[in-house]
Structures are given as structure tokens and as C-alpha cells.
Structure 1
Amino acid sequence: MLKPFKVEVFQEERLLLYLPVSFNRDSIPRSITLGTRKVEAECRTHPNGRNVIGISSPLADALHLPSGVGSLHLHQVEEELYLGALIGVFTAGFTQFKMNPIGERSRMFQRLLAVQGTLGVIPFVFGEHDIQWEDGLIHGLFHFGDQWERHFIPFPTVIYDRLPNRRSEKKRSFLSLKERLQGEYGIPWYNPGFFNKLDLFERLAGDEEAASFLPETHQFQSISDLERMLATYRHVYVKPANGSLGNGIHKITYDRGKDGYFCRFKDGDQQVRLLRFKNLESLVHSVLKGRKFDSFIIQQGIDLIEDDHRPLDFRVHTNKDDEGRWHVSAIAAKVAGSGSVTTHAKAGGEVKVLSELFAEDERHVMETRLKDAAIRLSHSIEANMEGYVGEIGFDLGADASGRIWMFEANSKPGRSIFTHPSLKAEDILTRKLALSFGVFLSRKTIEELVP
């Protein structure tokens, strides 16, 4: 990763910036830019031969640089010096509570912003109500030390989309805001939009790099579709096309011996239920409950490897770094709860690291296969989806032959696996990389603006 420089603000009447002695420059910068705020200022190499960024207090004020910022990247293009990257983390669900300004997700955002000092970036959280269009400023949420603070900050160089749900991203006001920030201000968004399961599978099915990892998946159009797939595979899954957290997933099996159809699912009280039906028509009406067929998908069932007779799959996180390269940043197994349809924690699932499940040689083979699949799938998703994709959370499975299957890919992956005590380093790494990609995208955007 690129190394940032320490920042020191000093008292001086002039708009003045001291450059670190190790900073390579082709010419003396004449202007300083933070986000969308540009200030003409005098620049010199640090007079004391120090390798730090010195910023006069009037310049810091003119740039709206928060006092808690301790380190920054520098990027020069011709005679303009860019500080940052300034990364706006866009979300919704704000509260009036100072200790928890983003509700139950406040801790997650606090941990994300906590890595800023080692990266030389300025991340802040904001929502649509925080934008002051007439002033070109945002009343952003920062976390310095042990507390949340609000500061006015220029519009960011890039925006990291962390909207909590599909309902938020479909709001007309959000779509208008996003179009304006992208169109009028040229600010790119990364990780925009939740993936639609069916749309994603259909796009990847035509990609040779990805197709071998995909179970057969179709939009639910008729009962005959379900009947055909049950005849081909021993079981299938019916899933909401836009579901999350394992909600609404039904495992359907036909038992020839008992001449009946069995449906296993999690009810509204998070209890696992198993129901028997004499025919598919009654099963489908029970599952859909009046909803349209095409709001669900049907997916081939895979006989997964097991731990103590409990099926398991794998959560694999991939992230892009500050040079735009994909990395596997975390791998964990999720073992299904007793009788559960999914491996989610709310259904009794348990997180384990690979060393808890496999002997050393087996662990190495499985890890290699999972990493290879995740990197290949990341490149395919990036090539086949719109927008800038910087992180993905994969739900992958392995069958008895060792073949890897992709069940889902999440553009805004949850972080439940990081409750495992052996994944603390991966927890930090994924947060660092989520912001490091903002550095890459910021530099790319700046360089594209230069004629």
C-alpha cells in the first residue's frame, strides 16, 4: 500500500503548505485541492528537512480540513496538489443520538473509520440531509479518538455506497442526488446497488470464466419449472430474487418412498419448520403466499460437504487495493444449525475457520480452490456489472468431489464472520482495503480530469 505522510497544522498568516522532503514533484504546486475545494496557496519543501506535511491554519480553514486528521496521501498533477483521498461513505438510517448517530450500525461505521490514520485518507459518513448544495459542503460525521464529531467538509473525491437496503436505494430523492453528484460534480460511486440474484447469474452464465461455478438457476415462472428441476436434482432451493440474510429461502425435496414433497424453511419466529405436501401445487401456494412467481428464483441443490452431519458453505471476501488489484481478504466456513435451510447465524449457524475443519493438507487444497474461484468470479462480476465494484462477499460451497459452487455474491457483504476470534486480522484488512480502493479510484478520477 502507498505510504501516507503525517500532517501538522502550524500557525502562520499566509496560505502555506510545506511538502515532505521525500515527496517527488516535477514542479512547485500552485494550488491545493481537498475533495472539490481548490485553494491557491504557496508550497515549499519543508524548511526543517522533515518528512511531514505542514499546513498553515488559514489554509486548513480554507480547505475545511478537520483538526482530527493525522495523515494524508499526496498526489500531484501538473501544478495542482491533491490531499486525501476524501472519501464520503453514503448511507441512511441516521438517529438523533450522539453516541449512536447511525443506530445499531454505528459501531460498524466507527470501526471502518478507525483505520483512516494508517491509510492517509479522510473518510466520513453522510446522508442526503447533510448536503448543502449552495455552499458545496457536507455536514459529515467523523470519528476521531473515542467520539463522533460533525464537521463541514467539501464534497468528496469518491463516494463509498453503504446504503443499508434495497428500499433506500430505490427512493426517488436518492436517485436524483446520485445523478447530480455524478453528473454535475463528476464524483464516482463505488459498490453501488445491491446485486439482483437472477440478473447476476444470467450475466455470469455467458462468461466462460464464471459459468463453471454456477448452479443451475432460473426465474420461477411455472410449477413445471420446479417439477423439472426436482426430477433432475435431488433437491432445489426457492429464493426471493432480492432477498438477504437467508430470509425467505425454502429447500424443497421430493421423496419417492413417501410419495410426497417436503419443504424446509425458517418461519417468522426464526424457527425451522418442515412441512409435507401431497402435490407441488399446494406446496407452491404455501411458499409464495400470493406473491408472483417471478419474484422468486429456483436454484439447483448441491450436496455440500459436512461437519458433524451439518452442511457447510464458505464466506469469502474479496477487495480491490489502492492499485486496483483484487485480493482475497477473508475466508471462513459457516456451518448450518441443526435442521436449518441456511448457514446464517440467526438460523443457528456457526462460524469456523478452515483449520478447525480440515487437516493441514486438506485445508491448503480447499483454501487454494476457494481463492481461485473467488478471484476469477470477482473479475467476471467486475466485467459484467455496471459501476465500480471494489468489494464482494461470496457464499461458496464445495461438494464431495471438491468442486466449488457460487450460491450468492453480495455487493455490500455483512460482517458476521468477523465475530470469530481468529479473524481479527482479516476484519482489519477488509476495512482497510474497502477504503484503499477509494484511494485508487480517487487517483484514477483526478488523472482522467487532466486534459
Structure 2
Amino acid sequence: MSSQLFIQLQLEMTEIKLSVGMKTVKAKIRTVEMNPNEIHFPENLFDLFCLPIQRYNFHAIYKEEIESLMLGPIVGLVTDFTNKENDDPYFRSIHSFCEELHHGLKEYGGFLFVFSYPEFPAKGYYFEEGKWKSAQLPIPDVIYNRIHSRRIEFGREYNLFRQKLTELGIPIFNDRFLSKWEVHEHLIHENHLQPFIPETNLFTKDLLAAFVDKYDTVFIKPVHGSQGRNIFKLKKENSSMILEASVKSHTEHKQVILPLEDVYSYIKPFVNNRIYIIQQGIPLHTYQNRGMDFRVLCHKNHQGRWTATSLVSRISAEGEFVSNLARGGEIMNPLNVLKNSLSIGEAKALIKEVKELAIETAMIIERKSSGITGELGIDIGIDQEYKPWLIEVNSKPSKNFEDGQKKIRPSAKAIIQFCTKLAWDTTFEMEES
């Protein structure tokens, strides 16, 4: 170790405990004159810690009372993917985001690897020389959940993996998908948020009639849906209803006109015994006659406070009533969208209000949900009077917003900060218990 680092860390002993990830070994320190802030490992230490032999940029924290030097954090990202023996792994919609996180941790301090939960802890993938390589890697300090499927999270194999993490004392954040009804129940009991929440209930035949009687437009959405799939939009027209659906088998006829008494029978086969919600349709502000909402990415920072790290306008594709990117929606700068109808000052004030509503929502969801929450994507629409409405909350928000950008985005930096905080907080709690 460099002499300067030895002094900077206030080390007094030359024999200490050294921790990387969940593994701790006893090590002897020899101080030498070399670049400040450098530590050189002998090869056997790399093997003991299951670290590929390469240069690392780690945070170093020395706990004098337990004579332990911790290097890290080691961050594991769990997702579901398949890869054939000799093929490079492909992490689906988050593949380029995983590279972004790798580069961010390399720059700000830490080591990332990606793994599939059935292979944990025997095998993971780390990024080196432009490709993902497999190896047995350290047991991580913290795990970031990017499983793509609700069905997997409900499955036995995934739950065995979760039990293993509990036994090892490894924190996992964004533990699971949130259901739309669960989110609604968390938020609707907060009096100050009620004016921003569309009327919502569990879908039944009787409620369909009641909602249609009360509102010009209603939406019917799957409780466990995502990416704007399997949603129905009903709009009154005289004594009939115009029905639109974002359902695969419905694409050949975008709109169907039905008498009200036939609507439930028409929808029922699509719903197919799954749980749906029914929701008041808000006459939202549009952009060039296309649907529009805002996606606010909210993250907990290194101080444990929620911040809005990104805000974009999502504009629906022609002929679509949902703005999700998965259904052809496009991303625009919110100021550019709003300045067509508001002054710059008014647009900035509205964006500030949207961010504040998103942060308040994130704080409540975190407080009322089980597990650790560190990231949420919150969808907010504005009506024609420029009042914000909470549309949806996502615990696994899309990572594809700013395509083609090579820099580390604020949202990725926020995840790195939160991982680092979680890793050190958990390590200290375990050492002190």
C-alpha cells in the first residue's frame, strides 16, 4: 500500500482484516513509496476474493474498532436471460444500460457484474475489453433487481434465490414489480394526494356501467400490466361506445363501436379471469393531437433522500392512445413540448410542480411498500387546465430514454450512489450486530 494511503486511512496496524464483497481475509500490509491511493494485491488475494485480475477503482473505508478495511462496493445486477454456451450473453432491454452501469462504477468506484438468479452464486458476467465474460465472482455487497417478468418473481425458483439472499444478509433493492391496485391503495389514503389521482376501482360489470355513466372516457388496465399492453380505452359517442385496445389480437381493428350493453361481453374474453382496474379517463393535454405524459425518474441519493433525476415528455405514436416507448412512443424535451402553449416561465413552474408531485409519490410508495425501494418511474399527465394527474408508478422503469448517448446519465449515477450507500450501511450493521 502507498505510504500516503496508509496515513490517510489512519491505519496503525500492519495486520488487518480485508473485505471485498461478503468475503473477509486476514492480510499483512507493507507500505512502499508509490502512487498515492494505490494498493497492490498479490495474485492469491485476487483468487481468494474471486476477482478477475485487473485494475480496480474502489472506495476504501477503514473501521478502526474492528480493524477492518473494506474495498468496494461489489454490485450484482440480477436479471433473466438465456445464453448458449459459446455465445455472448444478451441482457435484453437493459443490455446497453448494464454497460453504462459498468462504466459508471469503474469511474466512480466499484465493480459491477450481471447474473441470472438460477446461477447465483456460481456464475456471473463482468465487462472487459468490450465484451461480457463469465466467471465465479465475489458475493456482492448489494443487488439491483432488473428481472423482466412478474411471473418469474412469483415463481418458486426466484423465491428460493430470495431466501438465500436473506440468509447471506445481502440487500436487494426494487425487490419486485408493484401492482397498479397496490400503488393506488398506498396513495389514495394520503389526503393531500387525492386531488391528483383519477378515480380507480377493481373492474367489474357493475362498475363498468357506473364509470361509463359518470365519465366520458374510462380506461381498463391489467393490475399486473406493463409497457402499455392489454389496456382498453372506452369513449362515449352518443348512445354508443368507441372501444380502443392495446391488445395484440386487436391490432387488425384499432377501433370498435359497440352499444354499451355489449361492451362487457366484448372485453371479457380479453380479460380472461385476470384482475383489471377501471379508471377515470382524464382529458389530458396533447401534443400535435397525440397523447402526452411525463415520465419522471426518481432515485434515492447517497443521503437517502428522493430526487428527480430525469424528466421527459412521452408522445404517443400516431393512432396509439398509450405513450409507452414499447408501443412506438417517442421522447421529447418537456420545455420544447410545453412552450407551444405556455410561456417559458409557466412551463418551468409546471415542470417543477410535476417533479415535486413525483418525489412526494416516491416517498409514500417507499414508506408503504415492503423491501427496499431506490428507484421509481412515475408517469404524470397534465389536463387541459395544466393540472397534474398521477397516471402510473413503475418499479422497473425503462432504460432506453436517451438513445445513442455514451455519457453516464444522472439516473445511472444515482443508482451507483444508492448501491454504495446500501453496501456500506449493510456492512456496518452486520459488523456491529
> Residue 180 and residue 229 in structure 1: after superposition, are their counterparts in 2 closer, same or farther (change >3 A)?
same
For 2:173, the aligned partner's letter is: Y
Counterparts of 1:356-371 in structure 2, within 5 Å, are: 356-359=336-339, 360-371=344-355
Distance 1:45 1:19 in 2: 9
Counterparts of 1:221-300 in structure 2, within 5 Å, are: 222-255=204-237, 258-268=238-248, 270=251, 273-280=254-261, 282-289=262-269, 291=271, 295-300=275-280
In structure 2, what is the equivalent of residue 153 of structure 1? 137
Comparing 190-199 with 322-331, greater Cα deviation is found at: 322-331
1:24-71 deviations in Å (ceiling 9; x for gaps): 436547100111111101235654471333333332332222223420
In structure 2, what is the equivalent of residue 124 of structure 1? 113
Question: What TM-score results when the alignment is normalised by the length of structure 2?
Answer: 0.90
Matched residue of 2:112: which SS? strand
1:148-185 deviations in Å (ceiling 9; x for gaps): 11222221111111111111112201101211221x21
Q: Kindly indicate whether the alpha-carbon contact (under 8 Å) linking 2:2 and 2:34 is maintained by their aligned counterparts in 1.
A: no
Instruction: Say which of 70, 75, 83 aligns to 2:71.
Output: 83
For 1:249, the aligned partner's letter is: I
Q: Kindly indicate whether the alpha-carbon contact (under 8 Å) linking 2:230 and 2:246 is maintained by their aligned counterparts in 1.
A: yes
Instruction: Say which of 172, 176, 181 aligns to 2:165.
Output: 181
Matched residue of 1:416: which SS? coil
Distance 2:240 2:162 in 1: 51
Please say if 1:433 is aligned against 2:414.
Answer: yes
For 1:58, the aligned partner's letter is: N
Kindly state the Cα deviation for residue 205 of structure 1 after the two structures are TM-superposed.
1.3
Q: Kindly indicate whether the alpha-carbon contact (under 8 Å) linking 2:125 and 2:132 is maintained by their aligned counterparts in 1.
A: yes
Matched residue of 2:303: which SS? coil
In structure 2, what is the equivalent of residue 109 of structure 1? 98
Matched residue of 1:123: which SS? strand
Distance 1:180 1:212 in 2: 42
Q: Kindly indicate whether the alpha-carbon contact (under 8 Å) linking 2:124 and 2:137 is maintained by their aligned counterparts in 1.
A: yes
Distance 2:380 2:191 in 1: 18
Which protein is richer in strand relative to its size?
1
In structure 2, what is the equivalent of residue 5 of structure 1? none
Q: What are structure 1's unaligned runs of at least 5 residues?
A: 1-15, 133-137
Matched residue of 2:126: which SS? strand
Comparing 32-41 with 65-74, greater Cα deviation is found at: 65-74
Please say if 1:351 is aligned against 2:336.
Answer: no
> Residue 240 and residue 399 in structure 1: after superposition, are their counterparts in 2 closer, same or farther (change >3 A)?
same
In structure 1, what is the equivalent of residue 19 of structure 2? 33
Distance 1:46 1:438 in 2: 32
For 2:275, the aligned partner's letter is: S
Distance 1:186 1:332 in 2: 37
In structure 1, what is the equivalent of residue 381 of structure 2? 397
> Residue 105 and residue 263 in structure 1: after superposition, are their counterparts in 2 closer, same or farther (change >3 A)?
same
In structure 2, what is the equivalent of residue 8 of structure 1? none
Counterparts of 1:10-25 in structure 2, within 5 Å, are: 20=5, 23-25=8-10
Kindly state the Cα deviation for residue 355 of structure 1 after the two structures are TM-superposed.
2.8
Distance 1:46 1:321 in 2: 36
Q: Kindly indicate whether the alpha-carbon contact (under 8 Å) linking 1:125 and 1:140 is maintained by their aligned counterparts in 2.
A: yes
> Residue 104 and residue 234 in structure 1: after superposition, are their counterparts in 2 closer, same or farther (change >3 A)?
closer
For 1:161, the aligned partner's letter is: N
Kindly state the Cα deviation for residue 431 of structure 1 after the two structures are TM-superposed.
1.7
Please say if 1:61 is aligned against 2:50.
Answer: no
Q: Kindly indicate whether the alpha-carbon contact (under 8 Å) linking 1:266 and 1:272 is maintained by their aligned counterparts in 2.
A: no
> Residue 42 and residue 306 in structure 1: after superposition, are their counterparts in 2 closer, same or farther (change >3 A)?
same
For 2:417, the aligned partner's letter is: S
Matched residue of 1:83: which SS? strand
Q: Kindly indicate whether the alpha-carbon contact (under 8 Å) linking 2:2 and 2:35 is maintained by their aligned counterparts in 1.
A: no
Q: Note the aligned Cα RMSD (angstroms).
A: 2.4
Q: What are structure 2's unaligned runs of at least 5 residues?
A: none
Distance 2:354 2:68 in 1: 44
Kindly state the Cα deviation for residue 318 of structure 1 after the two structures are TM-superposed.
0.9
1:105-137 deviations in Å (ceiling 9; x for gaps): 4333223322221121111111233235xxxxx
Kindly state the Cα deviation for residue 140 of structure 1 after the two structures are TM-superposed.
1.4
Kindly state the Cα deviation for residue 216 of structure 1 after the two structures are TM-superposed.
1.2
Please say if 1:207 is aligned against 2:190.
Answer: yes
Please say if 1:443 is aligned against 2:424.
Answer: yes
Q: Kindly indicate whether the alpha-carbon contact (under 8 Å) linking 1:393 and 1:409 is maintained by their aligned counterparts in 2.
A: yes
Distance 2:43 2:253 in 1: 61
Kindly state the Cα deviation for residue 199 of structure 1 after the two structures are TM-superposed.
1.1
Instruction: Say which of 361, 381, 387 aligns to 1:377.
Output: 361
Please say if 1:324 is aligned against 2:309.
Answer: no
> Residue 49 and residue 127 in structure 1: after superposition, are their counterparts in 2 closer, same or farther (change >3 A)?
closer
Q: Kindly indicate whether the alpha-carbon contact (under 8 Å) linking 2:118 and 2:157 is maintained by their aligned counterparts in 1.
A: no
For 2:165, the aligned partner's letter is: L
> Residue 44 and residue 380 in structure 1: after superposition, are their counterparts in 2 closer, same or farther (change >3 A)?
farther
For 2:267, the aligned partner's letter is: V
